[in-house]
Structure 1
């Protein structure tokens, strides 16, 4: 018998403004005992919530932003040997301030926000100054997608057959 963590999955958002700057957030993460730079992200723990809706909710909650343009940037399994957690990374563009400001509590209460040029984010990844996997994968995927004229992006509502809730369904 093999034990593993059963996980609802998650979404992360690489929000990119008109100057090719990435929105980074910094918050405390107890398991690694540090405040780490990362992309806005969150669990898909609301029953039946579409991943895109979850991503839109997380961007509003963690960064007080909305976006008019959404695409799938990438997907990955965080630790396939011990967890079924999968994360879908969305690219959000056409950014604007959200009409409602989310009241942050607990681990989100002291979120620090910073806009960083995409190329500087790539440099930070390559220099090993950032460790968050969604940030690392998202930044490198965004750089590669941009170099290809964004032709590799997926539709925001495309099916996600590798998400565990879809394993028993025909795709």
Structure 2
């Protein structure tokens, strides 16, 4: 009987050791007060599978430049009247204790990677508490309350940058 109790105690302890914080990756949830629409430069909502959104995160207080992509958080956008809003998913943030605080931001882009995209943008970072799936009963993932919408920015072409550089040189030469 002692062995069974010890084994059960070991199982309970290891379950809580591996627990990680969870969030609901969704930029629209009226019940939670979230309406963070992601827009194209012309003002229309980002729409369809041609665009990707992912979550970047780190421990509470992490600067935006230091946040890292969360594996498994990549999703696409809804269409029609729901354009500008991501297809919701639940995300586990590695390295954040279950129920702990995390700083997160949403990235959206139109290429296969954020760095290689011609249209991209990032939300302002927010710090939120995460859900705790190791409690009994398990805690629910938290919503991204405080998230704000943003507009994607086009990457300037190389030719446009060259023209600006040449114009700057010509203006400097005239003086």
TM-score scaled by structure 2? 0.29
Larger radius of gyration: 2
TM-score scaled by structure 1? 0.29
